[in-house]
Amino acid sequence: MLMDIWSDFNKSSSQEWEEKVLFDFKDKIIENFYWKTEYGKINPFLIDNESIVDEKSQNFNEIRWKFNNENKLNSKILNRLNDGVNSININKINFNHSIFDNVMCSIIQNHVILNSKTDSFEIEQWNNWGKKEIQGSIRMDPLENILENFSPSKLNDQFRSYENFNNIIKNKALKCLFVNGEIYLKYFIDFSTEIAFLAAHFNEIIEYHKTNNIDIPEKVMIQTFLGNSFLESISKIKAIRCIINQIIKTHGLKMDIFIETSPNPEILKQKEFDFRLIAISSTVLSSILGGANSFEMSDSLLETDEEYWKKIMINIPLILTEESKVKHEMSKGAYMIEQISKKMAHTSWKIFKEIENKNGLIKLVNNKKHANYFKSK
């Protein structure tokens, strides 16, 4: 039986701590010690510390590389797999059998993102490939262009393509709802607003499925990007999972939530390699501790064709997960992280409800009211 070493000490209340602080700092008031954030004031005294998210589905298990063009694609895939990634993302590239020559697709995660304008023939090609023993996803976001030159007719075309996509892709294990968070990067919105828009985006896709009697997949993949604020990046992931889970429950659904992270390219622009690698290290650590499921890298993060630097970048998540054994449980109960997460989620939910009270994201954009939520550059 372990001895309770704290049993001889009386517990101190928050009020007692406050009185002691004010006694020692006679010229201060207690509000001077609060951490002021865009999500509200963070109480410096330990209070309720329960995590806002369920610990399920938070295993970090994919180190992914994103491929954006078909030039020498097969050799690039084999090189990255040889470097240590266990997941690939074929981003809006036309199908070709040679892409997967000598690639053991059955033992890695394979993700294919299709353009919302992809035609039936191309979708059928990917469907035939997906009939094999494949792990991962084939996905399409019907709202990927909602903030770019929006028009109802353009959106209707994208939804027709999306419905066609859902009819053609047969392998249910590869189907998912997909929220492409990349479209919100250029608008310099704060984390709470971004999460609210991701949630409204997700909700619109669910509503479309329900309205048109389209089967809703058993998983949702949320793509998001992390900045250089370490604690807030961890909290952002937790807040996203909390909000998305709440929407799923509201609809009476059961879905697994997969959060995919990557560094925000804005924090890496015009920076030296040393800075880039440090920033990438910080975002990888944030991803793991926040409970993300994957971390995605690409050539654009380093802006170099040198294979050496790509290998170094892939080594970062490998060292953290395989050698250092960093896991998301390490941040569980961390007071400051949980407090930021709760305030971030609370603010996000409030903005999300505002959007829904205005009849949802599509109506908001159609009425040109969405810009009110964006910060100017």
Beta bridge partners of 222: 179, 259
Reference 92, options 67, 74, 62, 127; nearest CA is: 67
How far is the C-alpha of 377 from the C-alpha of 359, rounded, in Å?
Answer: 28
Residue 1 pLDDT: 45
Strands (E), the chain: 35-37, 40-42, 62-67, 87-91, 109-114, 135-140, 177-179, 219-226, 256-263, 294-297
Half-sphere exposure of 69 (CA within 13 A, CB side): 4
Instruction: Please give the average pLDDT of every successive group of 10 residues along the chain, which has 377 residues.
Output: 62 78 81 77 67 67 95 96 97 95 95 94 95 92 87 89 95 95 82 95 97 95 93 95 96 96 88 88 96 95 87 96 90 85 94 96 92 72
Residue 267 pLDDT: 86
